[in-house]
Amino acid sequence: MYKTFYIKDVLQCREGSEVELIGWVRSKRRHGKLIFIDLRDSTGVMQVAVKQGIADESSFVKALEVGLESAIKVRGVVKRDPRAPEGVELHCNRLEILSESLDDFPIRKGVGLKFLLDNRHLHLRSPKVTTIMKIRANLMDIARRWLKENGFIEVNCPTFITAAVEGGATLFKVDYFGRVAYLTQSVQFYQEAAIYSLEKVYSLQPSFRAELSRTRRHLTEFWHLEVEMAYAELNDIMKVIEELIYAIVNGLSRESEKELRDLGRVVKPEIAEPPYPKIRYSEALDILQQKGVNISWGDDFGADEERILSKEFEKPFFVTHYPRETKAFYHMPDPGNPSVCLNADLLAPGGYGEIVGGGQRIHDYNLLVERIKENGLNVEDYKWYVDLRRYGSVPHSGFGLGIERMLWWLLQLPHIRSACLFPRTPTRVYP
């Protein structure tokens, strides 16, 4: 059994063409001797009219009895009809049930959010989730294409690690044959090793954070697009971030135009056209204090602060030069003012907040050792990472972009979990 036609192809067929479609019964309505089936496949939904007398009798009976989400095969004639959802209808003359639903399909209008999440394996069939997943796939594809065109080489890094990248508080511990290992928060350190041969690298793989924060923007497992580049300083990497974000938004506005429209979103490339505003942490602090936020120098920005701050902007914007104590040890201190570091977070406007974190790394051996100690960490735990600074170390910079954060912003999703096939949050590892 193979598919000759997909719904999207049939929508293009000439009136009168005879076609066969395979899909699932999304909904059904009966008007006397006429049954309408909304047939769903990966490419769309098509109205199938099963009329007694036109369809053979056994097909009509099957149409009458078939349960929602059963898999069926229909053969019929293409008819233009402005009343049909896509302007095209299939007049069925034969219907075959390939696999009957054993029970009533449980996903119905009015079921609660918890039910939908507990039944995510079935909720995935909804047009909305399907559309989001198509946009997600396209986003990754566009990003990969842009990176390749710009000379970045894809590398794949390990997930099991032995020491924190982004601080010990959010590490997932695993038993590694009696030894302690962790799930990585970022593959940055491995990419830093790779730049000495490949110079410009990227990875697209999951990162893990044992973050108990129950916000709309935190997952415990997320897909991380990370980039690392030799001979790049803070300004160079900000330029890469801007261009990549623009390429993604511009690409999606064209290539996913239909899907975006189906979600009721209009994404114009202008919303992400470089250059982006750049403010320092100290300026961001001023804005927050003027807004009445109780925050002082040295405090990190959380979801609330970023929401307030990002409402002041209409385009993505960079916040740079954070106090060094708010950032991980590997960030390069600003030589002109070592109390801050040469980092850059990119925040999405309109209340969304951080979607990219990155900056320049310490490439000096002694400075790195000093910063590891200053953070109360054990230099021995970072032996191989420090070792990279012994042999031809060069200035380098990089960043990480959260795929789900980017979708959360672009699609204006109520919660980041809607950007995942099967979201992982502190309270959810099933299904």
Backbone angles phi, psi at 58, to 5 degrees: -70, -35
Query: By C-beta, is 222 or 301 nearer to ligand 4AD?
Result: 222
Collapsed DSSP state (helix, strand, coil) of residue 16:
coil
**What is the total count of residues that contact Mg ion (CB under 5 A)?**
1
- Alpha carbons 53 and 282: distance in angstroms, whole number: 76
Among 76, 316, 349, 402, binds ligand 4AD (CB under 6 A): 402
Closest approach of Mg ion to the CB of residue 354, in Å = 5
226 binds, among ligand 4AD, Mg ion, none (CB under 5 to 8 A by kind): ligand 4AD
Among 226, 259, 306, 334, binds ligand 4AD (CB under 6 A): 226
Reading the block at residue 366, the tokens are: 């002694």
Instruction: Tell me if 204 sits within 8 A of 143, measured CB to CB.
Output: yes
Residue 321 site contact among Mg ion, ligand 4AD, none (CB < 5 to 8 Å, cut-off depends on kind) = none
400 forms part of the interface with Mg ion (CB under 5 A): no
209 in contact with ligand 4AD (CB under 6 A): yes
Among 355, 362, 388, 419, binds ligand 4AD (CB under 6 A): 355
CB of 244 to ligand 4AD, least distance (A): 13
Instruction: Please name which of 337, 256, 262, 257 lies closest in space to residue 297, comparing C-alpha atoms.
Output: 337
Stretch of residues binding ligand 4AD (CB under 6 A), selected from 41-49, 88-96, 181-189, 275-283? 181-189
Q: Which residue is nearest to ligand 4AD (CB)?
A: 357
326/329 Cα distance (integer angstroms): 9
Paired strand residues for 226: 203, 400
Length of the chain: 431
Q: Which range binds ligand 4AD by CB under 6 A, 32-40, 155-163, 309-317, 393-401? A: 393-401
Stretch 139-158 residues interacting with Mg ion (CB under 5 A):
none
The candidate with the shortest Cα–Cα distance to 173, out of 165, 162, 157, is 162
**DSSP conformation letters of 297-356:** TTPPP-HHHHHHHHTT-SS-EEEE--BGGGS-TTBPEETTEEEEESEEEEEETTTTEEEE
Stretch that binds ligand 4AD, among 144-152, 286-294, 315-323, 355-363 (CB under 6 A): 355-363
Q: Which is nearer to ligand 4AD, 28 or 415 (CB)?
A: 415
Which among 47-55, 172-180, 182-190, 276-284 is the span making contact with ligand 4AD, rule CB under 6 A?
182-190
Q: Does residue 357 bind Mg ion (CB under 5 A)?
A: yes
Q: What are the tokens at 40?
A: 């769903």
Using CA atoms in the order 205, 358, 137, 130, what is the torsion angle rounded to 10 degrees? 100
Burial of 392 (0-12, 13-18, 19+ CB in 10 A): exposed
Q: Which is nearer to ligand 4AD, 115 or 384 (CB)?
A: 384
Judged by CB under 6 A, the residue of 23, 251, 316, 400 near ligand 4AD is 400
Q: Is residue 334 a contact point for ligand 4AD (CB under 6 A)?
A: no
First and final CA of the chain: distance in angstroms? 30
CB of 243 to Mg ion, least distance (A): 20
8 Å CB contact between 211 and 426: yes
Residue 157 interaction partner, one of ligand 4AD, Mg ion, none, beta carbon < 5-8 Å per kind: none
b/e per residue 50-62 (b: at least 16 CB within 10 A): bbbebbeeebbeb
Least spacing, CB of residue 343 vs Mg ion, in Å: 9
Query: Based on CB atoms, which residue is closest to ligand 4AD, 154 or 257?
Result: 154
Closest distance between ligand 4AD and the C-beta of residue 216, in Å?
10
Whole-angstrom distance, CA of residue 30 vs CA of residue 46: 16
- Summarize as ranges the residues that interact with ligand 4AD (CB under 6 A): 165-166, 185-186, 188, 209, 211, 218-219, 222, 224, 226, 354-358, 398-402, 404-405
- Summarize as ranges the residues that interact with Mg ion (CB under 5 A): 357
